[in-house]
Structure 1
Amino acid sequence: MTEHLITHLRHVDIAMPDFERQRAFYTGLWGLTDVGGDTDVRFLAAEGSPERYIVRLRKSPEKRLDLVAFGAATPADVDLLAERLAGAGVNLVHEPKALQTLGGGYGVRFFDGDGRVVEVSAGVETRVHRRIEEREPIPVRLSHVVMNSAQPEATVAWYVKHLGFRLSDTLRIGARGEFMWFLRCNALHHSFAVARGPHVALHHASFEMRGIDEYMRGSGRMLRNGVEKVWGPGRHHAGDNTFSYFLDPVGNTVEYTTELELVDEDTWHPSVHDLTNAEIIDQWGTANEMNEFVAARSFNDVDKGLFVPPPV
């Protein structure tokens, strides 16, 4: 694929039985705004983002990732992408059509190589957003999502081949080999990444804060409210972004971050960063040790939604 038809990350949609507790966490603690829905589906926006919503919660008997959604510039690009995907044998959930979710638009859904549902859309209505104020510790936007895969090399190759993502950097752990690949669809170092895991699942969803002070204040709010911290606060080397990872009420890992690196497409060359170097793990040296326990918290539960389209 020569053209870069994917422009940006739009939203991540998750389902769970404990719906009300999940909604209360994301709106009452995490800092998102409930902008609509019904008793079983709620759409949550970031005050600093023009996206109509960045997280969709759905009540379901089973915990699953419903889908991850990306943007395209025009409906014609959605059609072109769908034509190429179908021609390459990719299983479409539905052909390009008018979307019935909040914000509307025109989009196509399909299964990636691991069985996740991916949506690409254009013409979605924007929302009136605002500048996040100094010391206001709420997300500006959805920064990136990371997925676990038992066959990560094949998953990375799928996204590069079919969706035109570019590899920014790779992480490895000494002789144990490579375990995370950062992919970009625009100037941000990564909007999507793939981690090696024991099964397919959501690894984490990351939310951009206004700056370092807001990031630390948000992290502190989680700690004061007894939200389980997985890892942080610290600063990654690959991507150069800050990190504080927590568990939401149903065990998904969510991250506060800021200052994700911008990449010059004309000069950037991917590197392999070895986490046996402590400064690669955390430039600041402030985070708790990255050990097997921390890694296992982000393995998450086996995704029950593989190759099964969500009902909405």
Structure 2
Amino acid sequence: MTQRLITHLRHVDLAVPDLAVQREFFTSTWGLKEEHTDSGLTFLAAEGSPEQYVVRLREATDKRIDLISFGAGDAADVDTLAGRLASEGVRLVTEPGTLQTPGGGYGFRFFDNEGRTVEISSDVAVRQHRPIEEGESVPVRLSHVVVNSADPEATVAFYDRHLGFSLSDTLMHPRMGSMMWFLRTNPWHHSMAIARGPHPSLHHASFELRGVDEYMRGTGRLLRAGVEKIWGPGRHLAGNNTFSYFLDPHGNTVEYTTELDVLDEDTWHPHVYDFSNPEVSDQWGTANAMNEFVAAKSFNDPDKGLFVAPPV
């Protein structure tokens, strides 16, 4: 593992054919706040987060992940990461420079091993945010992003070798082998995870709520609104976080969660959990059974943005 210079997850940017429908879902139903708009672009913030935005939506013909953005400590760390990646043969999309997105900052973009666009940035202006009130069932922050990979072992190795991500835990199945790897960039159990899938795509984006009561209120609010629930409510063993998975209007999986473990990184040793054991998937036993039909919902459509940088 290389030296860790990435500090945290900033935002996930999605391209969708129907921007108006997606924006309405994320604001009126999911609980994000529209902070900035531009031609064909919407920047959505979480009320409790200092990040300028946690989701960017762009109207496009093809549905895709536009990019996944991570923070670095300062401009020197951004330059170090860019130089390291270039010297190791990673293809840069943009050189380090001033960002033209809300909050500004300094950053660059590159393609990972499967062609996803990743952005690393520092010095982005802090957004004015507020504490989430008791009983308020809106996201506090973007918790983590999980991607499907057709070659997950290579993808895990890429984020370890080039970006210093640490392995927290692995999920396996006796018949299928290793299936999901949880990666961290700070003491949170994971800010990214890699899932074995038929093709590269978004598996899910997860949003942290204030606590269990707010998480359950949010889950209930989505159910009452008629949003399709895939799986939950329950509590995972890896990460010890709660989960309720839903489908957005374009078929992306989005999750409400809370109480993700914060690790003592000096003493933590990764586990390998067998998720054929029902208590690994759901300690509470309250979620619908995980099976191949439920799992397939999060395979998503093949990402059409691989090795094609978003236009903005």
- C-alpha displacement of 1:281: 1.0
Give the aligned partner of residue 111 of structure 2. Answer: 111
1:142 aligned residue: 142
| Inter-partner Cα distance in structure 1 for 2:127 and 2:277 | 43
Give 1:243 shift: 0.1
- Residue 49 (structure 2) pairs with residue 49 (structure 1): yes
Partner of 1:216: 216
Once the 2 structures are TM-superposed, how far is the Cα of residue 4 of structure 1 from its aligned partner?
1.2
Instruction: Name the residue aligned to 1:236.
Output: 236
CA distance in 1, matches of 2:194, 2:56: 21
Residues 219-298 of structure 1 correspond to what in structure 2 (within 5 A)?
219-298=219-298
Aligned partner of 1:184 in structure 2 is 184
C-alpha distance in 1, partners of 2:174/2:136?
A: 40
Cα RMSD after superposing both structures = 0.6
**What is the CA deviation profile of residues 232-256 of structure 1, one whole-angstrom value per residue up to 9, with x for unaligned ones?**
0000000000000000000000000
Residue 282 of structure 1 aligns with an amino acid whose one-letter code is: D
SS at match of 1:134: coil
- Structure 2: how far apart are the matches of 1:7 and 1:122? 10
Q: What is the aligned partner in structure 2 of residue 173 from structure 1?
A: 173
Q: Distance in 2 between matches of 1:2 and 1:246?
A: 35
1:123 aligns with 2:123: yes
Deviations 1:143-179 (A, max 9, x none): 0000000000000000000000000000011232110
In 1, the alpha carbon distance for the partners of 2:42 and 2:135 equals: 27
CA-CA distance at 1:99 after TM superposition: 0.5
Any conservation in 1 of the 2:97–2:108 contact (CA below 8 Å)? yes
Counterpart of 1:155 in structure 2 is: 155
Q: Distance in 1 between matches of 2:3 and 2:39?
A: 41
Give, as a single letter, the amino acid of the residue that structure 2 aligns with 1:46.
A
Once the two structures are TM-superposed, the CA of residue 80 in structure 1 deviates from its matched residue by 0.3
Question: How far did residue 37 of structure 1 move?
Answer: 1.5
Secondary structure at the aligned position of 1:199 is classed as: coil
How do 1:193-212 and structure 2 match up within 5 A?
193-212=193-212
The match for 1:40 is 40
**Number of the residue aligned with 2:77:** 77
Contact 2:14 2:58 in 1 (8 A): yes
**Alpha-carbon distance between aligned partners in 2 of 1:273 and 1:139, rounded to the nearest angstrom:** 28
Taking structure 2 as the reference length, the TM-score comes to 0.99
CA shift digits 1:264-309 (9 cap, x unpaired): 1110000100011111110000000000111000000000000000
2:3–2:163 Cα contact (<8 Å) kept: no
After superposition, give the CA deviation of every residue in 1:94-151 in whole Å (9 maximum; x if it has no partner). Answer: 1101000111100010000010000000000111100000000000000000000000
Deviation larger for 56-65 or 168-177: 168-177
How far apart, in 2, do the equivalents of 1:265 and 1:2 lie? 16
Alpha-carbon separation, structure 2, partners of 1:276 and 1:307 = 35
The secondary structure found in structure 2 opposite 1:20 is helix
The amino acid across from 2:172 in the alignment is R
Q: Distance in 1 between matches of 2:132 and 2:102?
A: 23
Kept in 1, the 8 Å contact 2:2–2:162? The answer is no
Shift of 1:3: 2.4
Identity over aligned residues, as a percent? 69
Q: Report how many aligned residue pairs link the two structures.
A: 312
What runs of 5+ residues in structure 1 fail to find an aligned partner? none
Instruction: Please name the residue that 1:88 is paired with.
Output: 88
Unaligned 5+ segments in structure 2 are none
Runs of 4+ aligned structure 1 residues displaced above 4 Å come to none
**Conserved? CA contact 2:2–2:161, under 8 Å:** no
One-letter code of the match for 1:58?
R
DSSP-derived class of the 1:301 partner: coil
1:2 is displaced (CA, Å) by: 3.9
Alpha-carbon distance, 1:215 to partner = 0.2
* Partner SS state of residue 135, structure 2: coil
